[in-house]
Structure 1
Amino acid sequence: MSKIYLLTGAAGLLGCNIARQLVDAKEVVRALVLKDDPAVAYVPDQVQIIYGDLLDINSMEELFTVPEGSEVIVIHCASIVTMNPNPNPKVYAVNVDGTRNIIDMCLKHKVKKLVYVSSTGAIPELPHGQKIKEVDHFLPADGLVGYYSVTKAQASQLVLDALRWCPELDASIVHPSGICGPNDYAFGPVAQTVSQYLNGEVKIGLDGTFNSVDVRDLAAGVIACCDKGRRGECYIMSNELVTMKELYDIINQTANMNVHANILSKGIASLAVKFIKMQSKFTGEEPVLTDFAVYNMTRNNDFDCSKAKQELGFSCRPFEETIRDEVNWLLEEAKDSGEQNEEAEKNAEKTVEEIKERIKMGDISKVIVRKGDERILSIPLNISVAVSVVGVAVAPLTFLPAMISAIGFDCHIELEKKDGTVMDVTNGVASAIVDASGYSDRN
């Protein structure tokens, strides 16, 4: 019997790593991806992409329609993660209603196994000094803080309820702590903090702890749960407790930096939040520090993952190794980005010089502005263009920048030559053409 994995959230950090590990193991993988999601570029090429939406159950039919006799395993990773503690209809729809739809499709198509990726946030916090273990029921009223945690608890209970009423369904739940690791193109909380620290943007930290599992180890644990996870059981997958100071020290050592951030106590941080709130009311900007952020860093983050280790063979590399890999990845990305930008600038300069020469020779007869397939603007150039390069203003071109700005910078600029052929140039090059014609928006 052939096996096929159906994966949601494949364009996210965890889903992408799960897909990559399954592909490396020569497994057949299908992934549900939102149409026009640019992150689909990070999904391995060997994965069959099915465009659909968790909230449109009919759009998932193609995902679940597999060859007869296939052994189907569903891994449900997709969710909206939010640091905003307030209720949000979209977060509820995706995290709760989306999970309900996945359960319904699993029952309809008689899948062999469902693994739902929940969160440790769905488990009630215990006092400091006590390890937090798995629970066998989820009530959002059980002292949960933050709307994301509430929705993950509700979705987890949906899975357990389905198991109680539908004996033909086999499902397990995985509760990751925070997730981090290299190749985090979505820039989750840890990647964002590391990146900001590398850029010298982090001046303070909180005197608290956090708990983040390496995404590569988490992906392996989720896959193991597909095979070894017991029906109706929950599994915490977490790492060791780490302080902000320890995180900063690892970054400094790996990147050969010597930056020191001030570590604030919970009391001082809470006081700072009040001033930041007042400031944000006047500036209209989002506060850089919130009560919810302070809570997350100072709560009990000591999770017990011994059950996953014993039953699934889960293991997690030291946090220091993960952060070193993440720092090195971010530094390499910055280097590659810089080289690409430099190459793009050189190509643009070369194109501009070529166009300047054509303008001087009077080879360009018309500037055309398009948006999609629609021609928005067509500007014929007269003989004065030839002398505009040396500073004479050209009336037909003087209003082009304003027109482009009004239309939007997603337009295409085309130069029509006298022989009727057309050159399509980038917006940046188009701006340079206008500058070369003697026009400046500072005039």
Structure 2
Amino acid sequence: MILVTGGTGLVGAHLLLHLIKNGANVRAIYRDEKGIQKTKSLFQHYNKLASFDTIEWVQADIIDIPSLENAFVGITQVYHCAALISFEPKDENKLRKINIEGTANIVNFCLSNEVQKLCYVSSIAALGDLAAHETITSEETEWNPEKYHSDYAISKYGAEMEIWRGQQEGLKIIIVNPGVILGTGFEEQGSGQLIKRVGEGLKFYTYGKTAFVAVDDVVRIMIQLMESAICNERFIIISDNITFKDLFDTIADTLKVKRPSIEAKPFLLELYWRFSWLTHLFSNKPNNVSKNTVRSFLNQTTFSNQKIKKTLQTSFLDVHQYIRDNFSVR
């Protein structure tokens, strides 16, 4: 039987959809009923409610060791998708607790239960830092502890260290490092918030860029890697490196709203995150834009997907077409 952690999140829910479609016996961890409803809604969206009922749900938390005991009974493979995504400085301790300590718990249970293979969903945030002579980030780019990293990036890097520790102790592992993941059903999380903001009339854009990928490609490749003899490797999973202006224009055209038309210069973004922080400080309103968010919108890093393309002889969905196919106004 296959265990999926984070089955109520974007990647985990889509992974469950694909695993069930392939006829797998699946158990998924959930923390509360509300989370299960999100996954159920995704299955309903794809007219797969009957398949949803075949999932065995176990209430557990990756940082609560006793609750994981029952979840691992009879498990042969684990997809570890559960994580906290936050760029708020106040969440530093929670990020380390959930992403690093939680991953250590999963690794330990895999080892003690003789799980055959573990797939961990990391992030491009956990990849290395370019040296002066380098221009493209790959799986071999070395992490430089002297460079600045967000708390989120540090937590995902720390989680990867736990995965490699498991590998050294005899566990077969796969690490995937997706870019920004685009997918349906989770509009209040991650990339869903970007799409929502553009739909609500976002006015600003930047020429910063990052790597994007459709969730369908992420889960398809995860399953292929887990079903293959490939192990003890990490793979960057991205479709393309795209500027935020290009992405926002495609989203706006798809949603039939006005494109963002004002370039947000670095100094303007610096002012904005400070204003947002002050507003949060004195009014208790949510801080929608952090310093780390600003950094991401100005980023110019280019990521390589050549390793996974060569290893699996695979190609990726076009991100722009994926947006048009899945987010258009009906």
TM above 0.5: yes
* CA 98–247 in structure 1, closer or farther in 2 if over 3 Å, else same: same
Match in the other structure for 1:292:
292
> Of 58, 66, 70, which residue of structure 2 is paired with 1:62?
70
* CA 276–171 in structure 1, closer or farther in 2 if over 3 Å, else same: closer
CA displacement, residues 259-297 of structure 1 (integer Å, 9 cap, x when unaligned): 443121223322443444445544443444332111112
Match in the other structure for 2:121:
117
Alignment partners' CA distance in 2, 1:89 and 1:281? 20
Match in the other structure for 1:324:
324
- Does the 8 A contact of 2:198 with 2:260 survive in 1? no
Unaligned ranges ≥5, structure 1: 333-443
Match in the other structure for 2:104:
100
TM-score of the two chains, using structure 2 as the length reference: 0.87
Match status 1:53 vs 2:61:
yes
Match status 1:14 vs 2:11:
yes
TM-score of the two chains, using structure 1 as the length reference: 0.66
Unaligned ranges ≥5, structure 2: 41-51
CA deviation after TM superposition for structure 1 residue 126, in Å: 2.2
Alignment partners' CA distance in 2, 1:102 and 1:196? 35
Structure showing greater relative contact order (alpha-carbon pairs closer than 8 Å, 6 or more residues apart) = 2
CA deviation after TM superposition for structure 1 residue 198, in Å: 1.6
SS in 2 for 1:153: helix
Alignment of 1:24-423 (within 5 A): 24-34=21-31, 36-41=32-37, 42-43=39-40, 44-66=52-74, 72-85=76-89, 88-126=92-130, 130-135=135-140, 141=145, 143-164=147-168, 166-167=169-170, 169-185=171-187, 187-200=188-201, 202-228=202-228, 230-328=230-328, 331=329
Amino acid across the alignment from 1:132: T
Amino acid across the alignment from 1:53: D
- Does the 8 A contact of 2:5 with 2:79 survive in 1? yes
| Aligned-residue RMSD, C-alpha | 2.4
Match in the other structure for 1:431:
none
CA deviation after TM superposition for structure 1 residue 209, in Å: 1.2
- Does the 8 A contact of 1:85 with 1:145 survive in 2? no
- Does the 8 A contact of 1:174 with 1:237 survive in 2? yes
Amino acid across the alignment from 1:194: I
SS in 1 for 2:231: coil
Alignment partners' CA distance in 1, 2:33 and 2:205? 34
Match in the other structure for 2:46:
none
CA deviation after TM superposition for structure 1 residue 75, in Å: 0.7
Alignment partners' CA distance in 2, 1:249 and 1:136? 31
Q: Percent identity?
A: 25
SS in 1 for 2:240: coil
CA deviation after TM superposition for structure 1 residue 24, in Å: 0.5
Alignment partners' CA distance in 1, 2:25 and 2:34? 23
CA deviation after TM superposition for structure 1 residue 79, in Å: 0.6
| Aligned residue pairs, count | 317
- Does the 8 A contact of 2:175 with 2:235 survive in 1? yes
- Does the 8 A contact of 1:33 with 1:50 survive in 2? yes
CA deviation after TM superposition for structure 1 residue 151, in Å: 0.8
- Does the 8 A contact of 1:181 with 1:325 survive in 2? no
